[in-house]
Structure 1
């Protein structure tokens, strides 16, 4: 009887993971008509020939569809994760098997290894950066400034990253153009609302095996992501409480029928808390002290700073993993507080998380793809700083999606067009 060597066993494991990742990517492509349409065009015309695309994204199946579309457009691609817990190792293995793609993404890495992987991506000397959260762009400016002159531009996927880049731009510290993919309608009206809302609630429910019906669900922040979480939770028969710092958003939430409170008030009554602000210290020590026994805390913002876990650890007499992805902190009073996914992005960082629905990410990654092409083809039109997605590209993607769904639109007649563009028509 012959026993397989450790090396051959490892190769079998890698091959198995690669095959599993391949199936996930193929399934995603089947449900991504926008990206599939763009991929066919990119394969024919190769608009990114000669370019190197460096990426820091959540490495899972939908992202992989974008990555492979970039490779099909003629680019060499290097990618790593933008969150230590969101990488699917099988998808990373499948990407790395592509001749034009190198993946450094690995699940569960520490901070040092996380930034080493970003540096490895930058060692490929990308001419385009694609970011989710801003870490890649900041790493370029802080540690690899020699790359700036050869980078034609970049794109940023998420709210937190755009906030950071706009602050950088305001300080005249952003030295190449970046398109704010997050801010365009085909991204924020669908990805942020439906994607974040559906995927966050699904991940929380699957991780805890608890129902939403009848629960007091506290949503911190009523931006696009908070709106989505509140809407989806209400649709599953939860009582939604919103906390806000902006008076107009608070009023909007109130007029939508939600209870609006300060976090201090909400801490006393909430069963589940979901942070969506993109800011730090949203739930802190004073709030932990007011919470009920058994509450669940989850973060749907990009970074793990919205819930003050350091303070919670210092307060707790003990802590333990009570379910996969659920850490329980027991306070001196005997009260237990449960934190999901180590306070990281809950829709991507629990063991059962799958991220946004495929159809939603088809739109967001379609915007990414055309924005990258735009930067390469029209580089001279973009100065250093944050830029919007050209509106005609955003609208075109909506048309592709509607055609794929079999949805028809009305069109304006010549008389209607003239009426809408004239100032001479009155009563």
Structure 2
């Protein structure tokens, strides 16, 4: 699409911000060698020629570069944000100048945010990339008329995959989706190292307070929780993990962390980070016993893990004391602080995962989109994993970019592993 056509269609905050957005995109481009290699392939093969692709992801520079890579493969790309507070207006403006249609603004109201999501789907895309299931939900509910051309897509998050599998289980899923979050090169690196670093980048930038010596409570010990806990330990914190899964709780204990229910952890925590994908992880009974000055943040998907209505019901005053910090004064005088309105602290109060980490995740997204386009007729309306060969290819591209080589099995070694008769 031409730049003028994208400008006419798009809804963004301020087109004049484009120069700064281009600088951000250029910076991540220089640090995403795997995605650059895939872009070279796409420019030659043009796998998306004549197709429309709609993307809903956290709309910042790394996502913008993914959109440009898909555009380089021949697609007419439309993009929107997957979180009201993570959209960067300068990046949106830059994408429009590059011929990508954008429906996104920083911090729109709830109704406008949903309208922007719907607008992004009104092109009737052939393929989608979703984050948390917002696009999929709209397509399966009030705007089923937009399903007409859809071949399938890819999902970024644990939360979104849970919703997709619920749709599949009920026999209601209308197109194939690739579970990118479940790929090795996603959760082993993005969820663990990406979330681990970016959460503390966001918290430290926002609060400007020390972590060493304080007690950090991490709710949830999945791959994201592992990363958050590991980085907190590295910053010198005393780490407590809360869990509902007995196996993960044992794992956290053996990794050297204290494990206890949230109602007990609430009494001793200085920082709280929720990473569960569920709701009401921190709620009324926990606020009742928290220390004065406790800092609450969320690194799960939606802003429901920290129950703000129950906090507000216990408060006599509320004020913004610093950008992205809301202070709640409780009836007994204690003060509790919520970062980034309870939304994703690493994106709403930071720049998200490091570019080198998202390089691998977005490489998987690009390759998965090509995979589903090549195979949608045979996949059926179900959730499928990223094929192992794509996962391994991303890892090999990453190793090559680092100048690292590894061993390969000899013919004799392969035969030994594949035969029950070899000793």
Moved more, 319-328 or 374-383: 374-383
Query: Could you say which residue in structure 1 is the equivalent of 2:7?
Result: none
**CA distance in 1 between partners of 2:125 and 2:404 (Å):** 39
State the shift of 1:46 in Å: 0.8
State the shift of 1:146 in Å: 2.5
State the shift of 1:378 in Å: 2.0
Q: Does 1:401 align with 2:401?
A: no
- SS in structure 2 opposite 1:129? strand
**TM-score, normalisation: structure 2:** 0.96
Q: Does 1:81 align with 2:81?
A: yes
**CA distance in 2 between partners of 1:262 and 1:317 (Å):** 28
- SS in structure 2 opposite 1:237? coil
In structure 1, stretches of 5+ residues that fail to align are 1-12
Could you list the per-position Cα deviations for residues 200-225 of structure 1 after superposition, in whole angstroms to 9, with x for gaps in the alignment?
Answer: 01100110001111110000000111
Query: Could you say which residue in structure 2 is the equivalent of 1:6?
Result: none
The question of whether the paired residues in 1 share the 8 Å contact of 2:21 and 2:90 is answered with: yes
Query: Could you say which residue in structure 1 is the equivalent of 2:351?
Result: 354
Query: Could you say which residue in structure 1 is the equivalent of 2:68?
Result: 68
- SS in structure 2 opposite 1:150? coil
**CA distance in 2 between partners of 1:342 and 1:146 (Å):** 34
State the shift of 1:281 in Å: 0.4
CA RMSD in angstroms comes to 1.0
**CA distance in 1 between partners of 2:186 and 2:244 (Å):** 24
**TM-score, normalisation: structure 1:** 0.95
**CA distance in 2 between partners of 1:414 and 1:127 (Å):** 43
1:39-188 residue pairs with structure 2 within 5 A? 39-99=39-99, 101-188=100-187
**CA distance in 2 between partners of 1:77 and 1:115 (Å):** 19
**CA distance in 1 between partners of 2:23 and 2:289 (Å):** 47
Could you list the per-position Cα deviations for residues 279-306 of structure 1 after superposition, in whole angstroms to 9, with x for gaps in the alignment?
Answer: 0000001100100000100000010000
1:25-424 residue pairs with structure 2 within 5 A? 25-99=25-99, 101-350=100-349, 353-424=350-421
**CA distance in 1 between partners of 2:57 and 2:117 (Å):** 11
Could you list the per-position Cα deviations for residues 6-64 of structure 1 after superposition, in whole angstroms to 9, with x for gaps in the alignment?
Answer: xxxxxxx9454101000100110100011100111111211000110011111000000
State the shift of 1:381 in Å: 2.3
Could you list the per-position Cα deviations for residues 378-425 of structure 1 after superposition, in whole angstroms to 9, with x for gaps in the alignment?
Answer: 222211011100110110010001000001101111211111111112
**CA distance in 1 between partners of 2:134 and 2:118 (Å):** 11
Number of residue-to-residue matches in the alignment: 411
State the shift of 1:174 in Å: 1.0
**CA distance in 2 between partners of 1:238 and 1:402 (Å):** 32
Superposed structure 1 runs of 4+ greater than 6 Å apart: none
Could you list the per-position Cα deviations for residues 57-100 of structure 1 after superposition, in whole angstroms to 9, with x for gaps in the alignment?
Answer: 1100000010001111100011111101000000011111122x
